[in-house]
Chains A and B, each alone.
Chain A
Amino acid sequence: NAGVTQTPKFRVLKTGQSMTLLCAQDMNHEYMYWYRQDPGMGLRLIHYSVGEGTTAKGEVPDGYNVSRLKKQNFLLGLESAAPSQTSVYFCASRRGQVKEAFFGQGTRLTVV
């Protein structure tokens, strides 16, 4: 039982490049989330999903797209990376409305 796994753990991108971050959970959770963590700003919600095939915008969605084609996977895409997207990205999943979220290990992304 791996929990929530994020791939990759580290990445350096050049401005304008694209990439996809993968989040996989093996707990059959309905809800999944993508956050970015920047110094002094806590965890800010980028996009989230309440079930397979559904996505919704969070607090800071601009510049990102997501897809949830399978219940266990939640993909975060950057179409044209910008230095402002340098951050640590966390994925989380949760079972039901009342349950706590479980987090992945984080992905440290640097855009140069």
Chain B
Amino acid sequence: AQKVTQAQTEISVVEKEDVTLDCVYETRDTTYYLFWYKQPPSGELVFLIRRNSFDEQNEISGRYSWNFQKSTSSFNFTITASQVVDSAVYFCALIDDYKLSFGAGTTVTVRA
């Protein structure tokens, strides 16, 4: 069974629009960790944020913000005022029983 679901396959926006990426996860553990990674066109995987299951505070880092809600098992990611450099594939991931599982990814295209 898929543990991390990213329902949006592709999102295309015009520069300066906001983009929200959805992530829904499934786990039986009470302690778990969630991550977001970015994969730009160059192909490397870049870590963006880590969140543990006990910390439901939202977080903002520059134009990036994350909304973690245990009640809905969601860990959504918003890019505010998107820029062309934000064009990438974004992955949500979950650590569960030592395994690091990824969602299928959401491709974000920001047009100038």
Which of A's residues lie within 8 Å of B, judged by CB? 31, 33, 35, 40-45, 48, 50, 56, 58-59, 88, 90, 92, 94, 97-103, 105-106
Nearest A residue to B47 via CB reads: A100
The stretch of B13-21, B56-64, B67-75, B95-103 that contacts the partner chain: B95-103
Are B45 and A45 in contact (CB-based, < 8 A)?
no
- Is residue B91 within 8 Å, beta carbon to beta carbon, of the partner chain? yes
Are B95 and A45 in contact (CB-based, < 8 A)?
no
Are A105 and B43 in contact (CB-based, < 8 A)?
yes
Are B104 and A40 in contact (CB-based, < 8 A)?
yes
Identify 17 residue pairs between A and B in the complex whose beta-carbon atoms are under 8 Å apart, listed by A's number: A33-B100, A40-B9, A41-B104, A42-B102, A43-B102, A58-B99, A92-B45, A92-B100, A97-B33, A97-B95, A98-B33, A101-B35, A101-B100, A103-B44, A105-B44, A106-B43, A106-B44
User: Contact flags (1/0) for B46-85 with A, using CB distance below 8 Å?
Assistant: 0100101000000000000000000000000000000000
A94→B33 CA distance, assembly (Å): 13
- Chain A neighbourhood of B104, CB < 8 A: 40-42
| 18 more CB-based (< 8 A) A-B contacts, given A48-B98, A97-B95 | A35-B102, A40-B9, A41-B104, A42-B91, A42-B102, A42-B103, A48-B100, A50-B98, A56-B98, A88-B43, A92-B100, A97-B98, A98-B33, A98-B52, A100-B35, A101-B35, A105-B43, A106-B43
